[in-house]
Amino acid sequence: MASAGLSRSVSARFSYRSLNLNSPRVSSAAHRKWMVPGSFFNALVLVFFFVSLVLVLCCILYLYWFRYLARGLVPSFNGVVEGCDVFDGSWVRDETFPLYNSSLCPFVERGFNCLANGREDREYLQWRWKPRLCEIPRFDVRDMLQRLRGKRIVFVGDSMSRTQWESLICLLMTGVEDPKGVYEVNGNSISKTIQFLSVQFRSFNFTVEFFRSVFLVQQGLPPRNGPKRVKMTLKLDKMDFMNQRWVDSDILIFNSGHWWTPTKLFDVGCYFQVGGSLKLGMPITSAFRLALETWASWVESMVNTNRTHVFFRTFEPSHWSGLGQKTCEVTKKPTIEAEGNIRSEFTDIIAEVAAKVKFPMTVLNVTMMGAYRSDAHIGTWSHPASILDCSHWCLPGVPDSWNELVFASLFREGWR
């Protein structure tokens, strides 16, 4: 993550004394002899010296300039380069978008395919994320397919993670000549509850996999003799039972946060547990932090980070406009100002835990990016149509940009 600097030791070797022709240690006679007019050889030496000095200085200036210019082209491992935060930007209109046709991709589940569900306006498809002070590279699908040969990409998380998984498969399929060579290895159809999905790209011998783990830590039965209201617990100090299956991967992308709510925890009788002890009074944010610390310890001890590139995506903002998620107003264009629940404590906790880890990782801080995209939610174009949705995103859409940022970060690190 640290940028290599240019050494100044070369320039330091040129002492002022060696350049001082009026030094008291040099006699005036010797001086005059050095500068004798008509001495072609001496003049040639002087010219060569000064030309060499100019060339050295120009090379140093050029290397410094090239170094800082190049930093603006591709985001760094943590998304921030000197003078450019790739997550600080805006959505710009781009007629070359979308990057794929959802109707031609069999891995977009019906609930995310807004066009198939009756959405008629297409303007929401033609927006590209543009950082304020730099550019991110265009998604080159043929180059990407070659780089992914023999590799394994794993997504772990909730339905937002599944959306990103579907997005990546559809992006990559645009460069595949035989669509039949891309298939789910177990013949499974995509559903909201399936625990594991793996799509094989046969011609390139790599897989893109999804593991449903909405909390990342273990969910199970409570200790004996607990209160009757405790039907299940989250064991904050233990990773999900499936964690061993995530380890042997080349790209490992996590997310969590949307299920950490009273409705999806306490209202269904799910409380927190550490060791053998229930933590009935523990706030959800404190439990989330402890779960992430468990996750960080697991990565450090179990994942070969020399091989595996680890990402954690932040909380995605929703745009419900009424209490109880009953009103969902989808706009026609991205908003000028960020809207929705952009001040999520979960995003802050992710950043704080990530700052303390001892292994290389990338935080995909997509919270603010999504805050402008109230036009890109599913809204009334869900399946079945009676379900309003101002949390999930249409495909193609916002998750495509998350994947562009993943590979931009990998390229910055010299990924092969």
Summarize pLDDT for 361-377 with one digit per residue, the tens.
999 999 999 999 999 99
Q: How many angstroms separate the CA atoms of 381 and 38, rounded?
A: 89
Write the single-letter amino acid at 330: V
Q: Between these two residues, 144 and 192, which has the higher pLDDT value?
A: 144
Per-residue pLDDT reduced to its tens digit, 9-55: 333 333 333 333 333 333 334 343 334 445 555 666 666 667 667 67
Q: How many angstroms separate the CA atoms of 262 and 264, rounded?
A: 6
pLDDT of residue 413: 74
pTM here is 0.80
Neighbour-count burial for 184-201, b at 16+ CB within 10 Å, e otherwise:
beeeeebeeeeeebbbbb
Starting from the edge strand earliest in sequence, which strands make up the sheet with 251-255, in order?
182-184, 196-201, 206-212, 152-157, 251-255, 309-313, 362-364
Q: Is the pLDDT of residue 390 over 80?
A: yes
pLDDT of residue 315: 87
Q: Is the pLDDT of residue 73 over 50?
A: no
Q: How many angstroms separate the CA atoms of 333 and 138, rounded?
A: 22
* Band (58; pLDDT cuts 50, 70, 90): low
Q: Is the pLDDT of residue 273 over 50?
A: yes
pLDDT of residue 16: 31
Tokens of 411: 């390229």
Q: Is the pLDDT of residue 145 over 90?
A: yes
Q: Which residues are catalytic?
A: 159, 389, 392
pLDDT of residue 316: 86
Residue 80 neighbours by CB under 8 Å, 6+ apart: 86
Give me the percent of the chain exceeding a pLDDT of 70: 79
